[in-house]
Each structure stands twice: as C-alpha cells, then as structure tokens.
Structure 1
Amino acid sequence: MPATPQHHPAWSPAGAAADSGPDGTDLQLYQEKFRRRLPHALDDLRGPTQGVVEAPATVVWSGLRAFELGNERQLMSLYRTVLAEGMREDLCALLNRDILLRWWPTLRILVSTTVCGVWEERFPQLRALADVPPAQPPARRRRHHRGPAAA
C-alpha cells in the first residue's frame, strides 16, 4: 500500500477522461451520472417560457439565482447550469422543451462534451440540430454613466 493517500480526480469531463483506464471506465461512470438524470422524453420538459425563474440552491449554489427568460444571456446561463447540475426533477421543472430545441445549437457548445453527448445520444431531435450554426451571442448592453454632469 502506498505511503501517501490515493487522490481521486474531481468529477469533471477533463478529469474523468484523463484518468480513465484503457476501457474508459471513469468516463463511462461520468456519462452514466448524466444519463440517470435525463427526462424520459423531451415533452417532460415543461418549465416556464417567460418571466423570472428562481433556481433552487441545489442547482445554482452561488451567484445569480433569479434568471429573466427574456434576457438571452440569463436564459443561456440558466439552461447551461441546469443541464450540468440539475437532477431529473430540476430538468423537468426548469427547462422547456421548445426553448431547449430552439437554443440547442448554442447550448451544445456551452455545456461539456459529456453532457452534450448524453443528451444527443438519448434524443435524436437534438442530434439533428448538431450541424445548425449557433446563434450569435447577444450584444452586451452598455451601461451609460449618468453622473452629476448628465443631470
């Protein structure tokens, strides 16, 4: 037995792929983690289509937790986080089928290759969108300083 404790890599796509053996066991376990969370069908994704969505702390544990679905950047942030961190119940409650399909060409490049692969493997509708170019990122709104001189 080694004198120093064995370090297990953090569960991340890079860590799982780099430390998997010849048979890819670690990567397979990582993929299975996401497969178990998948909804049974895309129609199970009945999340809101407008307004503000408050994500639970079990999904978003730091930073912004309320997302305005009318703001494309916030929508992408919510969906990316839920796809990566949400359990099946979270996916079904927070994601919407039509929004997911509309934005999948962009989302697929924002999530890990493992998450993308698992979703496209299970849902041919998403795989069919793999060659559609992603949407241009929305322009950032510049905040104009309105100090005393602007008054």
Structure 2
Amino acid sequence: MAEKRVLYSEQRPYLVADSLDELVGPTVGLVELPLRLDWSEQGTYNLDEPCELNLMYEVVLSEAMDVQDLRRYLNGPMLPVVWRRLFLPQRVRELWEVRFPELADAVGFLGL
C-alpha cells in the first residue's frame, strides 16, 4: 500500500493577521521586500502593475513569519480586491478565509 504524500505546504506554519484593518501596506509605487521574504531575483515590485502587486502579495502571504511583515506589506482594503487572483497554497487560502470570510466571498475588480 502506498503512503499518502504530505506536502510541505500542508504542514508549514503560516501567519494570519488578526484584522484586515491592521494591514496598512502600500498599494502603489516600488516596494523592495527583504531577503527573508523574497530571495528571488525580483525582490522589488512595482505595485502600479497589477501582476506585480499580486505577485508581491503571494510572496508575503506565503513567506511571512512575522506579523509585522503582514502589516507592512499587505493592505487590508486591497486584499479582497486581489484575493481571487492570487496563486496561494491551499492551506494559506483556507486559513485566511476562515479568519476573514469576506475574502471567500470577494469578487475583486476587473482592473486588478
């Protein structure tokens, strides 16, 4: 009998903010993430470009190990706008949607 394969993303601890109101990160301009969050070649994101904003949110949601990083780089009002367009580990999506059911219901905006 084959063993069930357990993915790292299913066991890894992920952070979830206590409130969307505490997320006061930028929504425009250039943002450089610290290496502890993004060790890729990109590192700097132009939030005026919707694809880059989405990518930065994916990185922060998946890699943050300190709630201060969530607060500093995510924006509470923007999160529901982009939520459905983010490629996230299933566990990250579930944890955030349990805490914030409005994300599960979010439709987003066509422009982002």
- Asked whether the two chains share a fold, i.e. TM above 0.5, the reply is yes
- Specify whether residues 133 and 52 from structure 1 end up closer, same or farther in structure 2 by C-alpha distance, changes over 3 A only: closer
Query: Structure 1 residue runs of 4+, over 6 Å off?
Result: none
- Specify whether residues 133 and 98 from structure 1 end up closer, same or farther in structure 2 by C-alpha distance, changes over 3 A only: closer
| Contact 1:105-1:134 at 8 Å conserved across structures | no
Deviations 1:46-101 (A, max 9, x none): 00121101101000012201100001111111011111001211111001111111
Q: Which residue of 2 aligns with 1:55?
A: 33
Give, in whole Å, the separation in 2 of the partners of 1:10 and 1:124.
Answer: 25
Q: TM-score, normalised by structure 1?
A: 0.63
* SS in structure 2 of the partner of residue 97 of structure 1: coil
Give, in whole Å, the separation in 2 of the partners of 1:133 and 1:100.
Answer: 9
Q: Which residue of 2 aligns with 1:93?
A: 72
Query: Quick check: 1:112 aligned with 2:89?
Result: yes
Q: Which amino acid in structure 2 is aligned with residue 128 of structure 1?
A: D
Q: Which runs of 5+ in 2 are unaligned?
A: 1-5
Q: Which residue of 1 aligns with 2:21?
A: 43
Larger radius of gyration: 1
Q: TM-score, normalised by structure 2?
A: 0.83
Structural RMSD (CA): 2.1
Calculate percent identity across the aligned residue pairs. 33
Give, in whole Å, the separation in 2 of the partners of 1:77 and 1:127.
Answer: 19
Pick 1 or 2: higher relative contact order, CA cutoff 8 A, min separation 6: 2
Q: Which residue of 1 aligns with 2:104?
A: 127
- Residues matched between the structures, number: 106
